[in-house]
Structure 1
Amino acid sequence: MDDHPSPRSAWRVHEGALRGLKVLDLSRILSGPFCTMVLADLGADVIKVEEPRRGDDTRMWGPPFQGQDASYFHSVNRNKRSLAVDLKSPVLLERVQRLACEADVVVENFRPGTAERLGLGYARISASNPGVVYASISGYGQTGPYRRSPGYDAIAQALSGMMSITGESGGDPVRFGVAGADLAAGMFTAIGVLSALHHRERTGQGQLVDVSLLDGQIAWLSYVAAGYFATDEIPRRYGSAHPTIAPYQALPTSDGYVMVAVGNDGLWRTFTQVTGLGELAEDPRYVTNPDRVRHREDLIGLLGKHFVTEPTSHWTQVLGEAGIPVAPINDVRQALEHPQVQAREMVQEVVHSEVGPLRQVASPIKLSGTPAQVREAPPVLGEHTADILGTLGMTEQQLRELADSGAIR
């Protein structure tokens, strides 16, 4: 146990909206940890259970690494306590079962059936803890013919049809730049957990929250699916463009790209005036949005030739001053350093025991009375094992023996 002395004198209770909420996090990788970080940022006490030798898989998903762990792990595990135990040990499994039976919320993202085999499934936990809100995230959900199939973000994006509408027109299908299926599932699970907690406030009864990566991507099809329902036409890829609005896409400039969103005919007339293309406003091919959509290819060709004559800064200033929605297409550095992002405090810093100052993307949830906080660094593996097991009645001698055997860290 001495390998990882706690760098904190005490775990700080957060005066957040979810203060007092006890969450047992049995999840790993991204979907579950993202969900539990949302809850932790809002004040919940999240205990993250990890395998004692390697921990969460993402600790090794590098480079880049910061300290012993990959930056990937750091991105979704702040404000949590790490309990590193071998669940094959009956005595340790019993302690984790006890934590589950004392928890308000349990979150897991095993393949369906795995939690049950470990003795940590919903039926067993809810029998002892009927008020528990038990969230299960999986690739395909707890029901249906694919329920036992392994779930991966890219597979959900492919199967859902999402990749078929992402990418350049005529080009290859493209996956999101981030793991959208995992992150969407984590967000939907957080919403489901909070909804189930509200129900418990009224009835005293917990319930199972069943969220799948595939379902989340199907839900995200939203207006694209609605268009298919309305026409029976299979949606296609439009690159940066909008399928039913034009011009609403990236245009090349002399030094980069600018995104324009001309969402109605009034904006179109203003757009043509301030860009020096007033003649297009009277062109019958482009008078109304349906006209512009029908003649999109010709229109974008004309705009591209015109916009490439000036730099991005010129077009963002001209269009912005005229009230046309416009933005440069920033790289990640430019986005994180943008004055609006800085003003909203969306990049914050926390002190990590191995790394020192560690930058984090903050919570986007701005509550006026009980704001979300980036208060504790992502834990090193097993950082809180001794403290947590100590509260469950384990002695120093027992902890030393378990540590020597490799059952805990």
Structure 2
Amino acid sequence: MNDSAPATNALPLSGLRVLDLTVARAGPTCVRHLADWGAEVIRIAPPSADAGDITGDQDGFDYQNLHRNKRAMQIDLKTEQGKAIFFELAKTADVVVENMRAAVKFRLGVDYASVSKVNPRIVYGSISGFGQDGPYGHRAGVDQIAQGMGGLMSITGVPGAGLVRVGIPIADLTAGNLLALAVMMALFDRTKTGRGRWVHTSLLESMVFMLDFQASRWLLANQVAGQAGNDHPTSIPTGVYPTADRPIALAASSPRMWERFCDALERPEWKTRQGWDTRDGRSADRAAINEAIAEITRTKSSLHWIEVLDPAGIPCGPINTIDQTFADPQVQHLQMAKPVSHARLGEQRLVRNPINMSDLDWDIRSATPDSGEHTDAVLAELGHSPDAIARLRAARVVQ
């Protein structure tokens, strides 16, 4: 427990109970939002399930960052006794979140229709690879498959250098973030209707949604985007440029920014150069513009150019490695690495939730629990006696 963390009842989601049936990353990303903001989250995993979790062993950096602020149980939902315990919990829960293959929850009998029979107020959130039905609904899905099928890999990377995945699991993360939003909308709707809903998304839907203006280029203008490397697909100059020490990124694509940029680089003649004096012209001649900029920027340090461009109102910044990112004074000011004490692993730093709320200091309340760490405590809260719990353990219904 982090002694500086705010009390759970001071957080906006205090009083909500969430049953977490998720694995891997997309589902836990959703639940992490709910846990971070005060919901009581009970993670329910099958006995010895974590060995097969793609986020690695429970002591690893990925697992520890995903499952903080939760309690943890291990229940075998394939057994009738295990399923009965789940439904005991579901009767008083507000939210269930799962990201199994679309059909698995029905096979286990823990789908929305089944849970809503015992608790009509339940909000049931699901993430799948490709949707809950349709020609691909039965398929398993992982992030990189969604990046490819959703079109992202076709527009990522340097032209002619082959297809490239994004360096983070963006489909997983986006699906998790969107499902958290959907859960909150359904909970708000419940205040008016008194009933819950099944809300769901998929890696594929989330990835297509994230194409955003690249998707609308096709839908509205019949333009199929390709790879643009570090250039912005339509607004030039926006990209990465060399300096005397390390590259910087800058963006000066609007007419006013372009004029200020030319003055800052002491190249006022660029403003009236034929072809460079319009946005379309600059986009058409991007290679020449980029090389002209690079010839200048490579003569001075990255700090020099940031100090020149920032007062001119030109967005710019260094290209950081991840260690440099966390050493950056602004990132440190934003406290994006938060401390927490793990009873077994010691002091840790985890990534802060990026949402800020007025009059509320956010902190990590508790480190990620060991698998099954709270099984006995939760069962006791449900009214199970020590002898009954021992029998459930002996039968491997729980761990």
Structure 2-normalised TM-score? Answer: 0.95
User: Secondary structure, in 3 states, of the residue corresponding to 2:32?
Assistant: helix
Shift of 1:101: 2.6
Q: Summarize the Cα distance change of 1:360–1:335 in structure 2 as closer, same or farther, 3 Å threshold.
A: same
**Contact 1:350/1:357 (<8 A) preserved:** yes
| Residue 380 (1) aligns with residue 362 (2) | no
**Contact 2:338/2:363 (<8 A) preserved:** no
1:245 to 232, 235, 238: 235
Aligned partners of 2:355 and 2:237: how far apart in 1?
Answer: 32
**Contact 1:166/1:239 (<8 A) preserved:** yes
Match of 1:22 in 2: 17
Match of 2:339 in 1: 349
Instruction: Give the letter aligned to residue 195 of structure 1.
Output: M
Q: Percent identity?
A: 36
**Contact 2:2/2:340 (<8 A) preserved:** no
Match of 1:368 in 2: 358
Match of 2:34 in 1: 39
Instruction: Give the letter aligned to residue 89 of structure 2.
Output: L
User: Could you list the per-position Cα deviations for residues 237-291 of structure 1 after superposition, in whole angstroms to 9, with x for gaps in the alignment?
Assistant: 1112111111001111222210001131111111112213222222112112211
2:56 to 47, 53, 61: 61
**Contact 2:154/2:226 (<8 A) preserved:** yes
Instruction: Give the letter aligned to residue 199 of structure 2.
Output: V
**Contact 1:42/1:371 (<8 A) preserved:** no
**Contact 1:59/1:69 (<8 A) preserved:** no
**Contact 2:340/2:347 (<8 A) preserved:** yes
Could you tell me which runs of 5 or more consecutive residues in structure 1 were left unpaired when the two chains were aligned.
1-5, 63-67
User: Secondary structure, in 3 states, of the residue corresponding to 2:91?
Assistant: helix
**Aligned positions, number:** 396
Instruction: Give the letter aligned to residue 13 of structure 2.
Output: L
Aligned partners of 1:110 and 1:271: how far apart in 2?
Answer: 51
Aligned partners of 2:111 and 2:53: how far apart in 1?
Answer: 24
1:93 to 76, 83, 88: 83
Instruction: Give the letter aligned to residue 157 of structure 1.
Output: Q
**Contact 1:189/1:209 (<8 A) preserved:** yes
User: Secondary structure, in 3 states, of the residue corresponding to 1:163?
Assistant: helix
Shift of 1:198: 0.7
Aligned partners of 2:165 and 2:187: how far apart in 1?
Answer: 34
Match of 1:206 in 2: 196
More deviation, 378-387/85-94: 85-94
| Residue 216 (1) aligns with residue 206 (2) | yes
2:290 to 300, 314, 319: 300
Match of 2:185 in 1: 195
**Contact 1:17/1:371 (<8 A) preserved:** no
Aligned partners of 2:128 and 2:25: how far apart in 1?
Answer: 11
Could you tell me which runs of 5 or more consecutive residues in structure 2 were left unpaired when the two chains were aligned.
none
User: Secondary structure, in 3 states, of the residue corresponding to 2:23?
Assistant: coil
Aligned partners of 2:368 and 2:327: how far apart in 1?
Answer: 23
Shift of 1:156: 0.6
Instruction: Give the letter aligned to residue 25 of structure 2.
Output: L
Match of 1:280 in 2: 270
**Contact 1:19/1:43 (<8 A) preserved:** yes
Shift of 1:404: 4.3
Instruction: Give the letter aligned to residue 183 of structure 1.
Output: L
User: Secondary structure, in 3 states, of the residue corresponding to 1:168?
Assistant: coil
Q: Summarize the Cα distance change of 1:377–1:367 in structure 2 as closer, same or farther, 3 Å threshold.
A: same
Q: Summarize the Cα distance change of 1:189–1:56 in structure 2 as closer, same or farther, 3 Å threshold.
A: farther
More deviation, 372-381/193-202: 372-381
User: Secondary structure, in 3 states, of the residue corresponding to 1:82?
Assistant: strand
Instruction: Give the letter aligned to residue 42 of structure 1.
Output: W
Aligned partners of 1:372 and 1:153: how far apart in 2?
Answer: 29
Q: Summarize the Cα distance change of 1:202–1:56 in structure 2 as closer, same or farther, 3 Å threshold.
A: farther
**Contact 2:90/2:118 (<8 A) preserved:** no
Q: How does 1:96-245 map to 2 (within 5 A)?
A: 96-245=86-235
User: Could you list the per-position Cα deviations for residues 311-365 of structure 1 after superposition, in whole angstroms to 9, with x for gaps in the alignment?
Assistant: 2111111111222110001111111222222222221100011111110111111
**Contact 1:162/1:217 (<8 A) preserved:** yes
User: Could you list the per-position Cα deviations for residues 184-230 of structure 1 after superposition, in whole angstroms to 9, with x for gaps in the alignment?
Assistant: 00011001000001110001011110111100011111111111223
Shift of 1:92: 2.1
Instruction: Give the letter aligned to residue 200 of structure 1.
Output: R
Match of 1:258 in 2: 248
**Contact 2:50/2:56 (<8 A) preserved:** no
Q: Summarize the Cα distance change of 1:56–1:118 in structure 2 as closer, same or farther, 3 Å threshold.
A: farther
